[in-house]
């Protein structure tokens, strides 16, 4: 019973007041109640007789309480114990254990009173409530972003005199002077040349419009980059590599905070409007994850547990993708395939729910004015023919090549930025890019429109009244085939048009995963065309895989040295645990603590002389038999706390990690019992375990470290960082590129 209690404390002690472990059933615990009074009896000024009595009790059966008393004393949550430093890796096993303890306690209590029952039920539903809130918030934000970005994109071309807050389309909707064929020309909408030089004709007007277009783009870009630089550096970039790393169990404080959310939302609008951004799935995932993280603070269950919070963030990522494309199922699959690390089935359901609510909220806001859930709904309904697979497969090959090229160029550019002077002038870089984009984009009708408009245009079935050039193309194509409208090879014209446009769009498309492309296409309603789409996606995947397995996000993670353990790639080398563990062959011996022979001073010396984040505890130096593992942070906090609060703890006090401390001779300082911060079930592997299995264990269980034994004796330790360094080394990369712990 005592052993058991100890172990449960070990797993459960770090919880806050909400879920602190209170046992009141065992005999030992009943003995503890007058414990606080007994603390004083251990001071030096207590008469020898009492002391001896005390020692006897403490060593015999009845005295277990004495040891336990100190455990109880420490069980009051010491602030900081069980939390993590910034830029550190969480221990999934510990976090999940804590949550299970919490859940158990609530379930057990629920039988006691109605209030506790209500608490239990509300606790069970808080996850769904949180999902609802995340869906609502991220859907609303996505709606706001879409509407603002649409308005600001049009602002680059002109302004509505009927109300400056109307975008081009809405401006002309409200107009009476518009014909059906020329829907987007109305007197209320004034291009900048009309406003400035009162005409829209001639070369000078074109130049004015061109100039204004570039000017606005530069202004938006400048605003965006300045906001990020000044207020929230974390709002920079797509965010997905960092979110992947966070979801895998890394702590980056503030990365998903409220400032990041606000600045990211504003700058996303600015960046999209400036014409720079091609894919908004990354930023929207970041925005949704910020929403998720902030909303987590309203729920104890999620605020206090890093593992539970990551479940929520996985779902939030799904909601983000869902609103980016209006594709809830695609969003969930994207989160599952690309972003998430720990994804239990429960999260699958919740992600669906969050993604759905978000998409539904966005639809209610109705930014595209068509009351459809999906941004670009496809209206093809004619069957396809087998020969049409050929252009799809060609498209797939091309897409795969382009994607691999894109990733390489992008990474090379980012590396250059990291290593040369270039990285010092981000504002200048962005402005130059914006200027180039705007100057190149303006003359071409398709590059000038926003990506969503463009894709929508690409996918729409052309009616006979449609004025778009793409449709002209297809109609022309059809005419040459004999003008049989019902039998026309739907989309083939569009594919050919797409072929021409490939240089404009695919850069954007290949940044998403191939799977996402499938899901996105499928969700646009092209269910009939799933076979050709899959064929294209498959070819594209094969081609891209042959050229390099790494996706863009993984490449960025590696470039930045984030401690991310890739779950997809198999570790294919023949090394053993002993080749990776510390200490290396000629290093000094592993730093260990002994369970019952070290003084507070010894331990403090070890702490100050090393930088390890944890220490194995062994039976004795000679036997090297493993007892448990103690974290540096917990050790420091507990010793400091004991020195401050527990009378008589001095440098010569012996630290006990055992269950019972032996009787001490009189006049020796009181002992410090630290079994409650000891992890009594550290993971171990033997020195001959192949690294492929070790990597698998680290991945699947989410370990932070693992101890290495040989024939039952402790030999060394492998941390997640060691594993990552080893993988980098095996892949002929610089092992020191892995940052953080």
Burial class (CB in 10 A: 0-12, 13-18, 19+), 237: middle
Which of 414, 680, 728, 730 touches its own copies by CB under 8 A?
680
Q: Which residue number, 213 or 521, has a Cβ lying nearer to its own copies?
A: 521
In 3D space, the residue among 562, 551, 520, 591 whose CA is nearest the CA of residue 378 turns out to be: 520
The DSSP letter of residue 571 is P
Quick check: 627 binds its own copies (CB under 8 A)?
A: yes
To its own copies, the closest distance from the beta carbon of 618 in angstroms equals: 8
Q: State which residue, 560 or 686, has the beta carbon closest to its own copies.
A: 686
**103 in contact with its own copies (CB under 8 A):** yes
**Residue with token string 């455990």:** 71
* Per-residue CA distances from 85 to 81, 234, 740 (Å): 11, 18, 11
Single out the residue of 132, 619, 664, 728 in contact with its own copies (rule: CB under 8 A). 619
**Cα–Cα distance for residue pair 97/109, rounded to 1 Å:** 18
Biggest alpha carbon–alpha carbon distance for the chain: 113
Residues between 1 and 30 that touch its own copies (CB under 8 A): 3-4, 6-8, 10-11
Q: Which of 51, 57, 104, 185 binds its own copies (CB under 8 A)?
A: 104
Kindly tell me which residue out of 60, 107, 483, 500 binds its own copies, with binding defined by CB under 8 A.
107
Cα 726 to Cα 723: distance, rounded to the nearest angstrom? 5
Touching its own copies, residues 690-719 (CB under 8 A): 690, 692-693, 696-697, 700-701, 709, 711-714
* Structure token digits, residue 60: 């015999």
Which residue, 216 or 529, has its beta carbon nearer to its own copies? 529
Peptide bond before 531: cis, by omega within 30 degrees of 0? Answer: no
Neighbours of 354 (CB within 10 A): 37
What is the phi-psi region of residue 702: left when phi exceeds 0, alpha when psi lies from -120 to 50, beta otherwise? Answer: left
CB 309 within 8 Å of CB 289: no
Binding track over 554-573 against its own copies, x by CB under 8 A: -------------xx-x-x-
Draw the binding track, 46-85, toward its own copies (x: CB under 8 A; -: no contact): ----------------------------------------
Residue 495 CB, shortest distance to its own copies, in Å, is 19
Among the listed residues 43, 481, 625, 645, the single contact to its own copies using CB under 8 A: 625
Residue 318 as a binder of its own copies (CB under 8 A): the answer is no
Whose Cβ is closer to its own copies: residue 273's or residue 539's?
A: 539
Q: Are 380 and 528 in contact (CB under 8 A)?
A: yes
Taking CB under 8 A as the criterion, the residue among 43, 100, 297, 476 binding its own copies is: 100
Residue 636 in contact with its own copies, rule: CB under 8 A: no
The dihedral region occupied by 706, where left means phi > 0, alpha psi between -120 and 50, and beta the remainder, is beta
* CA gap 402, 511 in Å, rounded: 10
Residue 298 has which token pair?
């309203």
DSSP for residue 89 = B
User: What element of type H or E holds 616?
Assistant: strand 614-618
531 binds its own copies (CB under 8 A): yes
Q: Please, which residue, 431 or 519, has the CB nearer to its own copies?
A: 519
Q: Return the beta strands (E) in 35-175 as ranges.
A: 158-160
Assess 645 for contact with its own copies (CB under 8 A).
no
Among 59, 211, 231, 349, binds its own copies (CB under 8 A): 349
The residue written with tokens 């970039």 in the block is 237
* CB closer to its own copies out of 374 and 438: 374
Among residues 82, 249, 682, 716, which is the contact residue for its own copies, using CB under 8 A?
A: 682
- Between CA 58 and CA 74 the distance in angstroms is 18
Q: How many residues bind its own copies (CB under 8 A)?
A: 79
| Three-class DSSP labels, 442-466 | CCCHHHHCCHHHHHHHHHCCCCCCC
Least separation, in Å, of the C-beta of 468 and its own copies? 22
Query: Closest distance between its own copies and the C-beta of residue 96, in Å?
Result: 8
CB atoms within 10 A of CB 436: 11
Tokens of 570: 């198999």
Q: Which stretch binds its own copies (CB under 8 A): 46-54, 366-374, 466-474, 715-723?
A: 366-374
Smaller CB separation from its own copies, 235 or 626: 626
Residue 684 within binding range of its own copies, rule CB under 8 A: yes
Angle between helices 389-419 and 492-509 (to 10 degrees): 20
Question: SS3 of 629, please?
Answer: strand
Q: Which is nearer to its own copies, 296 or 691 (CB)?
A: 691
Residues 373-392 that bind its own copies (CB under 8 A): 373-374, 383
For its own copies, what does the binding mask look like between residues 652 and 671, x meaning CB under 8 A? --------------------
- The region of 415-423, 436-444, 466-474, 529-537 touching its own copies under the rule CB under 8 A is 529-537
Nearer to its own copies, 184 or 379 (CB): 379
Which lies closer to its own copies via its Cβ, residue 1 or residue 436? 1
First to last CA, the chain: 36
Other Cβ atoms within 10 Å of 118 Cβ, number: 11
Residue whose CB is less far from its own copies, 205 or 374: 374
- Using alpha carbons, select from 249, 338, 242, 725 the residue that is nearest to residue 568: 338
Which lies closer to its own copies via its Cβ, residue 471 or residue 523?
Answer: 523
List of E strands, 623-671 = 626-631, 654-656
Nearer to its own copies, 478 or 689 (CB): 689
Distance CA 653, CA 646 (A): 12
The pair of structure tokens assigned to 185 is 């020309």
Among 325, 341, 353, 657, binds its own copies (CB under 8 A): 353
Minimum Å gap between C-beta 397 and its own copies is 16
Q: Is 187 among the residues that bind its own copies (CB under 8 A)? A: no
3-state secondary structure of 118: helix
Nearer to its own copies, 117 or 433 (CB): 117
Closer by beta carbon to its own copies, 337 or else 602: 337
Which residues between 111 and 150 bind its own copies (CB under 8 A)? none
Kindly tell me which residue out of 81, 240, 536, 576 binds its own copies, with binding defined by CB under 8 A: 576
- Eight-state DSSP code of residue 590: P
> Who's near 201: CB < 8 A, 6+ residues apart?
none
Instruction: Please list the alpha-helical segments (H only) found in 275-334.
Output: 281-296, 300-303, 306-325, 328-334
Residue 457 in the binding site for its own copies (CB under 8 A): no
Q: Among residues 101 and 242, whose Cβ is nearest to its own copies?
A: 101
Smallest distance from the beta carbon of 93 to its own copies, in angstroms? Answer: 6
Q: Could you say which residues in the range 232-261 bind its own copies, by CB under 8 A?
A: none
| Closer residue to its own copies, CB minimum distance, 216 or 353 | 353
* Single residue of 236, 251, 538, 547 touching its own copies by CB under 8 A: 538
By CB under 8 A, name the one of 523, 581, 654, 718 that touches its own copies: 523
């Amino acid at each position: 019973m005592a052993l058991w209690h100890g172990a449960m404390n070990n797993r459960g002690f770090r919880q806050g007041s909400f879920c602190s472990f209170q046992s009141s059933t065992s005999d030992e615990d009943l003995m503890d109640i007058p414990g606080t009074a007994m603390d004083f009896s251990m001071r030096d000024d207590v008469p020898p007789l009492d002391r001896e009595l005390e020692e006897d009790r403490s060593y015999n059966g009845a005295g277990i309480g004495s040891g336990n008393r100190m455990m109880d004393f420490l069980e009051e949550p010491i602030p900081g114990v069980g939390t993590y430093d910034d830029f550190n890796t969480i221990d999934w096993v510990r976090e999940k254990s804590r949550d299970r303890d919490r859940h158990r306690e609530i379930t057990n209590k629920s039988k006691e009173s109605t209030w506790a029952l209500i608490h239990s039920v509300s606790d069970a539903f808080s996850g769904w409530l949180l999902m609802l809130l995340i869906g609502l918030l991220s859907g609303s934000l996505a709606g706001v972003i879409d509407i603002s970005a649409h308005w600001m994109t049009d602002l680059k071309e002109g302004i509505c005199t009927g109300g400056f807050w109307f975008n081009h389309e809405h401006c002309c909707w409200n107009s009476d002077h518009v014909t059906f064929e020329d829907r987007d020309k109305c007197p209320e909408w004034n291009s900048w040349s009309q406003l400035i030089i009162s005409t829209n004709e001639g070369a000078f007007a074109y130049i004015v419009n061109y100039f204004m277009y570039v000017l606005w783009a530069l202004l938006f870009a400048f605003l965006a980059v300045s906001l990020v630089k000044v207020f929230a550096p974390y709002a920079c970039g797509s965010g997905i590599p960092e979110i992947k790393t966070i979801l895998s169990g890394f702590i980056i404080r503030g990365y998903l905070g409220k400032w990041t959310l606000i600045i990211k939302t504003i700058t996303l609008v600015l960046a999209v409007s400036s014409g720079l951004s091609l894919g908004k799935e990354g930023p929207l995932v970041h925005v949704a994850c910020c929403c998720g993280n902030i909303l987590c603070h309203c729920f104890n269950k999620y605020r206090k547990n890093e593992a539970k919070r990551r479940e929520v963030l996985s779902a939030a990522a799904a909601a983000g993708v869902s609103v980016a494309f209006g594709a809830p199922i695609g969003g969930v699959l994207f989160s599952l395939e690309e972003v998430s690390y720990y994804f239990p089935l429960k999260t699958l359901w919740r992600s669906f729910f969050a993604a759905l609510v978000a998409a539904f909220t966005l639809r209610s806001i109705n930014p595209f004015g068509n009351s459809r859930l999906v941004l670009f709904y496809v209206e093809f309904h004619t069957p396809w023919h087998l020969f049409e697979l050929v252009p799809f497969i060609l498209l797939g090959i091309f897409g795969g090549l382009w994607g691999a090229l894109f990733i390489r160029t992008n990474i090379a550019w980012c590396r250059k930025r990291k290593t040369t002077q270039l990285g010092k002038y981000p504002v200048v870089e962005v402005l130059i890019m914006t200027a180039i984009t705007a100057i190149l984009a303006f003359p071409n009708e398709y590059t000038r429109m926003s990506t969503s408009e463009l894709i929508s245009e690409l996918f729409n079935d052309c009616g006979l009244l449609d004025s778009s050039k793409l449709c002209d193309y297809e109609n022309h194509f059809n005419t040459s085939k004999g003008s049989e409208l019902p039998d026309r090879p739907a989309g083939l014209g569009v594919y050919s048009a797409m072929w021409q446009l490939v240089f404009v769009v695919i850069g954007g498309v290949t940044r998403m995963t191939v799977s996402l492309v499938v899901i996105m296409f499928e969700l646009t309603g092209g269910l009939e065309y799933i076979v050709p789409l899959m064929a294209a996606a498959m070819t594209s995947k094969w081609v891209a895989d042959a050229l390099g397995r790494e996706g863009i996000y993984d490449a960025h993670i590696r470039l930045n040295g984030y401690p991310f353990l890739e779950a997809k790639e198999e570790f294919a080398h023949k090394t053993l645990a002993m080749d990776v563990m510390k200490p290396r062959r000629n290093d000094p011996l592993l730093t260990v603590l002994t369970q019952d022979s070290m003084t507070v001073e010894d331990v403090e010396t070890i702490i100050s002389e090393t930088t390890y984040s944890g220490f194995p505890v062994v039976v004795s130096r000679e036997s090297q038999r493993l007892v448990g593992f103690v974290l540096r942070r917990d050790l420091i906090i507990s010793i400091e706390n004991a020195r401050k609060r527990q009378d008589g703890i001095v440098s010569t006090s012996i630290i006990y990690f055992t269950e019972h401390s032996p009787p001490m001779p009189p006049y020796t300082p009181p002992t410090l019992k630290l079994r409650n911060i000891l992890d009594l079930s550290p993971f171990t592997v033997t020195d001959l375990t192949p690294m492929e299995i070790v990597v698998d264990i680290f991945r699947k269980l989410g370990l932070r470290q693992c101890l290495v034994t040989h024939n039952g004796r402790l030999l060394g330790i492998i941390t997640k960082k060691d594993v990552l360094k080893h993988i980098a080394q095996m892949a002929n990369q610089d092992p020191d590129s892995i940052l953080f712990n």
